[in-house]
Structure 1
Amino acid sequence: MTQPAKPTATYRLQLTPGFGFREAEALVGYLTELGVSHLYLSPILQAVSSSQHGYDVTDHTRVRAEFGGVDALRELAAAGLPLVVDIVPNHMTVPVPESGSARLWDVLAHGPEAESARWFDIDWSGGGGKVAMPVLGGDTDVEAEVVADGDVLRYYDHEFPVRPGSGGRLSEQHYRLVQWREPPGYRRFFDVSSLIGLRVEDPEVFEATHEVILSLVAEGVISGLRVDHPDGLADPRGYLARLRERAPVWTVAEKILIDDERLPDDWACEGTTGYDALNMVTRLFVDPAGAEPLVELFTGHTAFPRDYDTVRYEAKRQVLAQFFTGEVERLTRETPDLREAMTELLAAMPVYRAYAVPGERPPAETVRVLREAASRAARHADPAAVERAVELVLSGPAETVVRFQQTCGPVMAKGVEDTALYRWYPLACLNEVGGEPDRFAVSAEEFHAYCAGMAPYTMTTLSTHDTKRSEDVRARLAVLSELPGEWAEAVAGWSEQVSFDPKLDYFAWQNLMAAWPISVERFSDYLYKAAREAKTSISWISPDAAYEKGVRDFAARAIDACGPSIAAFTERVDRYAQVNSLGQKLVQLMMPGIPDVYQGSETTDFSLVDPDNRRPVDFAYRRSLLDAPEAGGWDAAKLLVTSSALRLRARLDPEAPYIPISTGEDGAGRDHAVAFARGDRAVAVVTRLPAGLSRRGGWDGATVTLPPGGWRDLLTGARHTGRIPLAHLLGRYPVALLEKE
C-alpha cells in the first residue's frame, strides 16, 4: 500500500457515547481552519458500552457502536482530515457480566484447552491450574452466594460459565473466585484486575486483535496509529516491527521516558506520544531560584522528607507489597529465594523498561541501568542475591527476562505516577507523567541541546487525556517558582482559616489556585482522588468514610472562606501565567516533532487529572474566537498563537533543522528570552520567567538578531529584519512567530 502522508500537526478528540464520529465530523471544518493536518481519536473498537475512554475493549471485531459504527467512521475519514487512531494491544476488559467477552467466556468455560486460551497471559501453573478471578466482596460465603442458573453461575452482577460435565459445582470449574483485593491469575494492566493482558506476541492473537484496524489502514480510513502502553508487551520491539510491516503509517508509542532516557533505535515507530517533550517545555518556564524556598515551604507544611528519592522508594515498596505480590510471585516462582532481591531491584529501577531481550546480548545502557539499580537494591537486600537477580534479568530464562520487563512499568506507574507524585510536590507543575519533581528547571542551553536530538516525526504535546494537570494549570504553577515569598504568605493566610490534613492541604492550595475558578464538586472530587492515590491516609483499597467526608468539607470551606483571597492571588499570578501559557504553546508547536493539540487546549483550559480533563469542550466558543482574532484576552491570544503556528507548520518541512538563536550573553535577553529558527523559514521567540523580567524593569535594551532576510510576524503583521530590540519585537504579545518573506 502507498504510505499516507505524515501529519504536520494532530488534534486529539476524546470520543464518548455522547460524542461520537458524527459529532467529530461536525468539527472537521473548524479543525482544518485551525491548521491541523490530522484528527487523532481515542480508541475506536467496541468497549464497555458506558465507557468514557475506550481502553476497556470488549470486542476487537467491531468498531464501537456507541460512536456510530464503521460506516460513520468511514464518513468521518472522508470529511477532509486523515485519521490517527489510538490502539490498545496490551489488554482488553474483563466485563461485568463476564459473558460480555466471548473470548474470555470461552477460556473460563474450557480452561487451558480453550480455543481462546492463547489470547490471554494467564498463570495456569498457579492456583492449582485454575485462573483466579478477584470478584468477591467482604467475608463472602461463596457457596451460599453463587447461584446456579442453567449453564451459568451468578454472583451478584457477575456471570461465569459452567464447565461441561462439572455438574455446576464451583470447585470443578477452570476458575476460582477470590477476594477482590487478591491478585488475579493473569497479567493485568497496572493494578487494574478488570483489564486482562493479551498475548499479542502470538501471531494468531495479533491477527485477530488487529484485523479491523489493519483492514481500515489498508482501506485508507486510518492514516496513523498511536500505540497504548507498549511497556506491557512481552516484546514491544517485535510487536512494532510486525505492526509496521502490516500498517506502514505514521506511528507513535506511548513510551514514558525518564530524564535522559531515549527511545530505542530499533523500535519501528516515529517516536513517543510526547511526555518527554512536555516535561522539558515545562521546566523551561520554571525558575531554578525557586527550588530551595519551595522545598522548604513544602516540607514545613507537610513534614514529608526533603529527599524525593526516599519518598519514591517508599512509594514503590508500598505498591509492590499492596498490589504486585502476584506479579512478583510469578516472576520468582522458580527462584523463591530471590523474591526479596527481585522486589528490591524492581523498587530501585529508575525507568519503565530495561530493554533486555531473551537470547540477545543486552545493550550497554541496559546493563548500566540494571547495575545502578542493583547498587541501590543491595542497600536493602542481600547483595549476592541481588547480583544473581540481575544476571537472571539480563540473560536468564526468557520467562524471567520478559516478566521483569512487564513488571517494571506497572511498578513505576503505580509507585511513582500514582503515589510518589501525590506525596512530594514542592511545585506541582513538575509532577507530570515521566516527570521528576526534584529537577526544577532547564536552561535555554539545555533545552536547545534536547531539541537538537529530537526525532523529526515524534509527537510533542502539552496536555493529554492522562496528564495530571492541563498546560495552563502548569503555566500558573510555574509562576510560583518566581514568587515563592508571596506564595508562602498566601498559603499561611489560607491555612490559618482552613485546615484538614497536613499531607494534603498544601497540595490542595496549589491546585485550587491553579485551577481557579473551580466548583466545590470538581475540587472535592479531585482531592478525593489525590488522597486515595497518595495512600497516606486512605487508598482505593482502604477507604475511610469519615476521612472522605473531611476531604469534601475541606474543599467546600476552602472555596467559601478563602475564595476572594485566592481569586486575588490568581489574578496577580495570571499576569505572568499568560506569558508562560503563550510561550510554552509556541515552543511546543514550533520545536521538532509533530505537535498535538489536546481537545480544547487551543484556548485556556484549567483542567485537573482525569476525568476532569475529559469534560465536554465548548467548540462553538472556540470557533467564534477563531473568526474574531481581534477579540482580545488570554483565550483569543492563545488561539491566535495556536492557529498561526499550526498553519505555519503546514508550510514547514518537519525535518527543517532546529537552530538556536542567541538572545544575549548576559542581561535580560539571556535570562528571559528563548529563540530558535526552523531551517531558514521560521523563527520563534518567547519570553520566560516573566515575573523576574518585570522586577528588573523590562528588557533594558536587550536585542535579538534575526537570520538574514525579511521576516513577518504572523501574530501582529509587523515586518522585521536584522537586529531587533526585544521590547519592540515582544511589545504586543510576549511571543513572536516570524516567517521569512
Structure 2
Amino acid sequence: MTEPAKPTATYRLQLTPDFGFQEAADLVGYLTELGVSHLYLSPILQAVPTSQHGYDVTDHTRVRAEFGGPDGLRALAAAGLPLVVDIVPNHMTVPVPESGNARLWDVLAGGPRAESARWFDIDWAGGDGKVALPVLGDDADLATDVVADGDVLRYHDHAFPVRPGSGGRLADQHYRLVGWREPPGYRRFFDVTSLIGLRVEDPEVFAATHEVILGLVAEGVISGLRVDHPDGLADPRGYLARLREAAPVWTVAEKILIDDERLPGDWACAGTTGYDALNMVTRLFVDPAGAEPLVDLFVRHTAFPRDYDTVRHEAKKQVLAQFFTGEVERLTRDVPQLRQAVTELLAAMPVYRAYTVPGEEPPAETVRVLREAAERAARHADPADVERAVELVLHGPAETVVRFQQTCGPVMAKGVEDTALYRWYPLACLNEVGGEPDRFGVSAGEFHAYCAAMAPGTMTTLSTHDTKRSEDVRARLAVLSELPDEWAEAVAGWSEQVSFDPKLDYFAWQNLMAAWPISVERFSDYLYKAAREAKTSISWIAPDAAYEKGVRDFAARAIDVCGPSVAAFTERVDRYARVNSLGQKLVQLMMPGVPDVYQGSETTDFSLVDPDNRRPVDFAYRRTLLAAPGAGSWDAGKLLVTSQALRLRARLGPDASYAPLSTGESGAGRDHAIAFTRGEQAVAVATRLPAGLARRGGWGAATITLPPGRWHDLLSGARHTGRVPFAHLLARHPVALLEKE
C-alpha cells in the first residue's frame, strides 16, 4: 500500500465546551496565513459533557454535541484546512452517574453474558466472578449508603443497574462496590479507575468504536489520525494495520520512546507524536558542563540521591505496591510463586513496551531489553525466578505475554513520568515525557545523526497538551545549565527568606523563575499537584490538609517576599532564553518530520503541566501581531520564525532531504551554532548555548560557508552568498532561515 500523503505542518487545538467547531472555524484564516497545512483536533467523540479534554469518551456513535455535533464538524472541515483528529482506542470513561456510558451500564446489568461484555477488559475470573468498582469513600456504610431506587442502586452521585431477578440486593449483582483505593476489576488507563480498558482487538469492538471516525474519513471530513496511547492495546501492531486498511490516511501514534529506542518498523503509522524529537531538541540547548554543579546543587537542597537510577527504581516499586497490585495479581494468578520476580522485572523495564507478539519469535531487541532488565531485577529477587519470569513473558501463554506488555506502560508512566520526574530534577527542562533527566545535552553531531534516522512522516513538537512544561519554560530552564553558579546564589538567597519542604522547595524555585510572572493561584495549584505526584510527603491517595495549606502558604510567600528578586533573575535569564526559544522553534519546524504547533505557542507561552497548559489562548492578540508585527519583541520574533518556517516548509514539501551544514571545526561556530539544509532550497541556522557565547565575547571571526547560490534570509531580509561571518548572518536575529533565490 502506498504511504498516505503527509501534512507539511499541523496546528493543535484543544476543544472544550466553550471552544468548539465554530470557534475553530473562525481561526482557519489566521492559521492558513500562519502557514499550517492541517488543523489537528483533540478528541471529537461524545465525552462527559463537562470534559475539558475529551479523552473520557462515553459514546462512540456520536460526534460531541457540546462542540457542535456532526454538522459543526463538517462545517469546520469545509472552512479550508484538512482535519487531523485525535482518537482514543484504548479506553472509555466510567462516568458519574454510571448510566452515562450505555455500554458499561449493559455490562453491569447483564454481567459476562451481556451483549457489551466483549467490549471491556474485565477480570471476571477474579473477585468471585464480579467486577470490582472502586467507588466507596473511607467512611462508607453499604447498609445505609447504598439505596434502592426502582431498578437502580444509588450511592451518593453514583448509579448502578439492578440485575434482573436479584430483588435489588447488592450482594446479588454482577459488580462489587469496593473502596476507592482498591484496584478495579478491569484494566484501566494507567492508575485512573474512571477509565476502563477497551478490547479493541475484537473485530466487532473495533468496528463499533471506529464506525463514526471511519465514516468521516471515507467522507473526506477527516484527513489524518493521531492514535492515543497505543501501548495500552493488546496488539498495537495489529490495531494499526487494521486502522491503516480501513483509513488510509496519515496516522501517528502517541508512542513514548526512551533514549535510543526506535518505533517498530512493522507498525503501520508514519511515526510518533513527537516526544522523542522534543527531548532531542531540548538537549541541544542544554550545556553538559552544567551537569555536575547542578546535580550538586540539587542534592544539597533536597537530600535526594545523586543517582537517578536509584530514584527511578524506588518510584516504580512504590507505584507497583500502591497502585498496581491488581494488575500484578491478574498477571501472575497462575504462577503466584513468581509474583516478586515479575514485580521486579516490571520495575526494571526501561521502556513502555517490549513488542512481543504471542506465537511469534520475539525480536532480538526485545530479548536484549528483557535480559538487561532481568539482570537488574535479579538483584532484588531470586535469579532463577526472574529467569522463569522472563521466559514466561517472552514465550508463555498469550494472555501472559500480552498482559505483561500492557502493564509495562502504566508502571513507566506512573513510576517515572508522575513520580520519579517530580523527585529528581537537577534541571527540570529535562524532565519531560520520555525524557531522561540525567542526560545533560547532546552535541550538534548527535542531533544530526538523530535527524538522519528520522521517519519523514513522524510528527515533531515542542509543546503538547500533556507536556510537563511549555517550550518557553524549558528555554528559560536550559539557561541554568550555563549559569549554575549564579543560579545557586539566587536559590540560596530565596531559600533563606522562604522555605517549606526541602523535597519541594528547589523544584518550586526552578518553576517559579521559569514560569514568571505567575499568579499565586496558578503557582500553588501547580505545587500542590507536583507534591502529590512526587508522593514523598502527600499523594493523591494520602492527602494531608495541613501539608496542603503549607504548600499554598509557601507559594504565596515565595511570590510576595522573593518576587522582585525572581523577576530580576528571570530578566537576566531572558537575554539567553529568547535565543533558546527562537532557536529551538526554528530547529523543530525545519528538521525532518511533520512539525506541530501547539495552540498559542507561535508566541511566548509560559505554561506548566495540565490543566495550566490548556488555558484559553488569546488568538485576537496573535492575529493582530501576525498582521502587524511588533518591533523587536520576543513574541514578534517567535511569531516571525514560526510563520516564515511554516510557509517555507509548505513550499519545500514534506520530503525535502536533510543534511548537516558545517559550522566550523573549532571555535564559536562549532560550539554555539547548529546548521542544516533541507533539500537544495533551504538552510536553517540557530544559536545554541548563548550565555557561553557571550562569555567568549561573541562570534568573533567565525564564519559559515553556505551552499552554492544566492540566499535570502526570510527573517532579516538580508542576502548572502558563500562564506559569511556568523556575526553578520545573525546580527539581527539569533537564528537565520535562508531560502535559495
* TM bracket (short chain): over 0.9
CA contact (8 A) 2:6 2:654 kept: no
Match of 2:377 in 1: 377
For residue 260 of structure 1, what is the amino acid of its counterpart? D
CA contact (8 A) 2:583 2:734 kept: yes
Following superposition, the deviation at residue 187 of structure 1 comes to 0.2
Match of 1:612 in 2: 612
Match of 2:145 in 1: 145
Following superposition, the deviation at residue 4 of structure 1 comes to 6.9
Alignment partner of 1:476 is 2:473: no
Segments of 4+ moved more than 3 angstroms: 1-5
CA contact (8 A) 1:4 1:223 kept: no
Alignment partner of 1:597 is 2:597: yes
CA contact (8 A) 1:523 1:555 kept: yes
Match of 1:323 in 2: 323
Distance in 1 between residues matched to 2:6 and 2:504, nearest whole Å: 45
Match of 1:648 in 2: 648
- Matched residue of 1:631: which SS? coil
Distance in 1 between residues matched to 2:235 and 2:157, nearest whole Å: 36
Match of 1:90 in 2: 90
- Matched residue of 1:138: which SS? coil
Q: Which runs of 5+ in 1 are unaligned?
A: none
Distance in 2 between residues matched to 1:461 and 1:138, nearest whole Å: 42
1:572-604 superposed Cα distances (whole Å, 9 cap, x missing partner): 000000000000000000000000000000000
Match of 2:568 in 1: 568
Following superposition, the deviation at residue 5 of structure 1 comes to 3.9
Mean CA deviation greater in 1-10 or 175-184: 1-10
Match of 1:181 in 2: 181
Within a 5 Å distance, the mapping from 1:20-419 to structure 2 comes to 20-419=20-419
Distance in 2 between residues matched to 1:38 and 1:229, nearest whole Å: 22
Mean CA deviation greater in 503-512 or 622-631: 622-631
Distance in 2 between residues matched to 1:28 and 1:18, nearest whole Å: 17
For residue 528 of structure 1, what is the amino acid of its counterpart? Y
1:191-241 superposed Cα distances (whole Å, 9 cap, x missing partner): 000000000000000000000000000000000000000000000000000
Distance in 2 between residues matched to 1:630 and 1:114, nearest whole Å: 62
Distance in 1 between residues matched to 2:388 and 2:531, nearest whole Å: 38
For residue 156 of structure 1, what is the amino acid of its counterpart? H
Following superposition, the deviation at residue 3 of structure 1 comes to 8.7
Following superposition, the deviation at residue 630 of structure 1 comes to 4.8
Within a 5 Å distance, the mapping from 1:452-531 to structure 2 comes to 452-531=452-531
CA contact (8 A) 1:659 1:677 kept: yes
- Matched residue of 1:286: which SS? coil
Distance in 2 between residues matched to 1:220 and 1:591, nearest whole Å: 29
Following superposition, the deviation at residue 655 of structure 1 comes to 1.7
- Matched residue of 2:524: which SS? helix
1:500-549 superposed Cα distances (whole Å, 9 cap, x missing partner): 00000000000000000000000000000000000000000000000000
Distance in 1 between residues matched to 2:494 and 2:80, nearest whole Å: 51
For residue 7 of structure 1, what is the amino acid of its counterpart? P
Within a 5 Å distance, the mapping from 1:652-731 to structure 2 comes to 652-731=652-731
- Matched residue of 2:533: which SS? helix
Report the CA distance shift for 1:389/1:4 in structure 2 as closer, same or farther (over 3 A).
closer
**Residue correspondences, number:** 741
Match of 1:736 in 2: 736
Distance in 2 between residues matched to 1:471 and 1:322, nearest whole Å: 32
CA contact (8 A) 2:531 2:539 kept: yes
Distance in 1 between residues matched to 2:121 and 2:630, nearest whole Å: 57
Following superposition, the deviation at residue 716 of structure 1 comes to 1.1
Mean CA deviation greater in 702-711 or 318-327: 702-711
For residue 421 of structure 2, what is the amino acid of its counterpart? L
Following superposition, the deviation at residue 143 of structure 1 comes to 2.1
Distance in 1 between residues matched to 2:3 and 2:436, nearest whole Å: 38
Distance in 2 between residues matched to 1:223 and 1:656, nearest whole Å: 22
- Matched residue of 1:508: which SS? helix
For residue 272 of structure 2, what is the amino acid of its counterpart? T
- CA RMSD, aligned part only? 0.9
Distance in 2 between residues matched to 1:486 and 1:502, nearest whole Å: 20
CA contact (8 A) 1:143 1:170 kept: no
Match of 1:581 in 2: 581
Mean CA deviation greater in 716-725 or 226-235: 716-725
Match of 1:444 in 2: 444
Following superposition, the deviation at residue 427 of structure 1 comes to 0.1
For residue 198 of structure 1, what is the amino acid of its counterpart? L
Q: Which runs of 5+ in 2 are unaligned?
A: none
Distance in 2 between residues matched to 1:4 and 1:494, nearest whole Å: 54
Distance in 2 between residues matched to 1:143 and 1:276, nearest whole Å: 52
- Matched residue of 1:40: which SS? strand
- Matched residue of 1:242: which SS? helix
CA contact (8 A) 1:661 1:677 kept: yes
Distance in 2 between residues matched to 1:292 and 1:54, nearest whole Å: 42
For residue 462 of structure 2, what is the amino acid of its counterpart? L
1:451-484 superposed Cα distances (whole Å, 9 cap, x missing partner): 0000001000000000000000000000000000
Report the CA distance shift for 1:359/1:102 in structure 2 as closer, same or farther (over 3 A).
same
Distance in 2 between residues matched to 1:76 and 1:272, nearest whole Å: 26
CA contact (8 A) 2:476 2:577 kept: yes
Distance in 2 between residues matched to 1:132 and 1:373, nearest whole Å: 32
Distance in 2 between residues matched to 1:643 and 1:656, nearest whole Å: 19
Distance in 2 between residues matched to 1:568 and 1:690, nearest whole Å: 19
- Matched residue of 2:660: which SS? strand
- Matched residue of 2:128: which SS? helix
- Matched residue of 1:629: which SS? coil
Query: So what's the TM-score if we normalise by structure 1?
Result: 0.99
For residue 372 of structure 2, what is the amino acid of its counterpart? E
1:11-33 superposed Cα distances (whole Å, 9 cap, x missing partner): 00000000000000000000000
Following superposition, the deviation at residue 706 of structure 1 comes to 0.5
CA contact (8 A) 1:625 1:631 kept: no
1:535-565 superposed Cα distances (whole Å, 9 cap, x missing partner): 0000000000000000000000000000000
- Matched residue of 1:499: which SS? coil
CA contact (8 A) 1:465 1:610 kept: yes
Distance in 2 between residues matched to 1:539 and 1:148, nearest whole Å: 34
Alignment partner of 1:628 is 2:657: no
Following superposition, the deviation at residue 631 of structure 1 comes to 3.0
For residue 671 of structure 1, what is the amino acid of its counterpart? D
1:257-278 superposed Cα distances (whole Å, 9 cap, x missing partner): 0000000000000000000000
Distance in 2 between residues matched to 1:5 and 1:349, nearest whole Å: 36
